Amino acid sequence: MPALSPTMEQGKLARWLVKVGDTVSAGDIMAEIETDKATMEFEAVDEGTIVAIEIAEGTDNVKVGTVIAQLAGEGEDASAPVAKPAAAAAPAPVAAAAPAPVASAPVAAAPVKTGDRVVASPLAKRIAAQKGVDLAGVKGTGPNGRIVKADVEGAQPGAAAPAAAAAPAAAPAPVAAPAPVAAALPDFGIPHEDLPLSTMRKTIARRLTESKQQVPHIYLTVDIRLDALLKLRAELNAALAARKVKLSVNDMLIKALGVALAQVPQCNVAFAGDTLRQYSRADVSVAVSIPNGLITPIITDASGKGLAAISTGMADLAKRAKEGKLAPTEFIGGTASLSNMGMMGIKQFEAVINPPQGMIMAIGAGEKRPWVLEDGSLGVATAMCATGSFDHRAIDGSDGAQLMAAFRELVENPLGLLA
């Protein structure tokens, strides 16, 4: 059982898609595993024959490192399994590349070497050869630092990845004591059904409890007029129609938050005990609802991307998030978050910070309201509420207020998003 997310300690083997005697190739889907983030497809990284399935499907609380299946490779005896190793044995027989939500960023392991050989899956080696990527400089995110497909797909041809000592994408979340177990509910004689929590729901419950208990939240709300942004959106969509790009209000708000974070960098930070990490790039995690939970795919460099690129990128990420096909690098990390419930008719809300990030922006619904116009007369405008939740250990109220003012200015004068 590999660690499919940085916070995963155990998982549920939801379903096997192979049986003993089947031959698999690198990239074949072998099983579905329910992690602390999502139900994820489990890919083979080696060719071979399944000689034993050690963990039956439906088994819950399988600890990371437990052998779940045995695979006989080329030249090995596929007639019988070997003695089952201990749970903490070295690399898991197979590894996966797929998604999950709300997580602190991992520190990628340096490439694993045996002598002068870099340990990588056969599929990763083939992709690297096709792209001209030097595996010696690629960081592996598979079990024990093994290089897998997702690592190579994100690497630049001929370019080595940063040294292992380089700073990770986000500060590590502080280690916290387990959340207290809720007392059993009394039976009041009301007809009911007790449904077991999924691994994802358990993790959401634990992490949100930890965030509210450990992170001192401060909330700042502003009213923002949307008329200029809606007008610009209509004009841009007319111009982009031939390219089959349709901007959403959310796409423009992602850009606005990215630019605001670049303008007020003291809010683009993470608290890490005795240090404060200052980010030089705004990567915006965007909350996307999926069955049984939430995931936050990331728009990297939101301030530097054009609106069309943000729109097409967000549409692709949201689609693959709901299909469970995101790579870990696409949802793990981020420097700040945006959660938009306006399309659900929610007027205003306060979102819970996703540690180790320092802030999250909560967006309410746009609605027609009485509004004092520029000439002092009373008119009607389309407006919304935006509420920033800030980690008060890292961000002062005055800095948070500057970010909210910058965000409002960009939304009300949206030509600044095109500069």
Verify whether residue 217 is a known catalytic residue. Answer: no
Answer whether residue 187 is part of any domain. Answer: no
Taking the C-alpha atoms of residue 190 and residue 154, their distance in angstroms, rounded to an integer, is 53
Overall domain count for the chain: 2
Q: Which of 72, 91, 120 is the last residue of a domain?
A: 72
* CATH code: domain of residue 360: 3.30.559.10
* pLDDT tens-digit profile, the chain (419 residues): 888 776 678 889 889 999 998 989 888 889 988 876 677 888 888 888 999 999 999 898 899 889 999 988 776 766 666 665 444 444 444 433 333 343 333 334 444 444 445 677 767 777 777 777 888 788 887 766 778 777 877 776 654 444 333 334 444 444 444 545 566 788 888 999 988 888 778 888 888 899 999 999 999 999 999 999 999 999 999 999 999 999 999 999 999 999 999 999 999 999 998 999 999 999 999 999 988 788 999 999 999 999 999 999 999 999 999 888 888 889 989 999 999 999 999 999 999 999 999 999 999 999 999 999 889 999 999 999 999 999 999 999 999 999 999 999 999 999 999 98
Q: Which of 49, 72, 95 is the last residue of a domain?
A: 72
Answer whether residue 353 is part of any domain. Answer: yes
Answer whether residue 155 is part of any domain. Answer: no
Taking the C-alpha atoms of residue 266 and residue 288, their distance in angstroms, rounded to an integer, is 26
On whether both 363 and 215 belong to a single domain, the answer is yes
Task: For residue 151, give the nearest of 113, 200, 95, 101 by alpha carbon.
Answer: 95
Q: Looking at residue 299, what is its pLDDT?
A: 98
pTM for this prediction: 0.65
Query: Which of the following is catalytic: 246, 281, 392, 408?
Result: 392
Q: Which of 48, 72, 96 is the last residue of a domain?
A: 72
Residue 115 corresponds to which tokens in the numbers above? 């002598």
* CATH code: domain of residue 54: 2.40.50.100
- Give the tens place of pLDDT for each residue, 360-416: 999 999 999 999 988 999 999 999 999 999 999 999 999 999 999 999 999 999 999
Taking the C-alpha atoms of residue 36 and residue 350, their distance in angstroms, rounded to an integer, is 24
On whether both 252 and 400 belong to a single domain, the answer is yes
Q: Looking at residue 109, what is its pLDDT?
A: 41
Find the domain containing 391 and state its range.
208-417
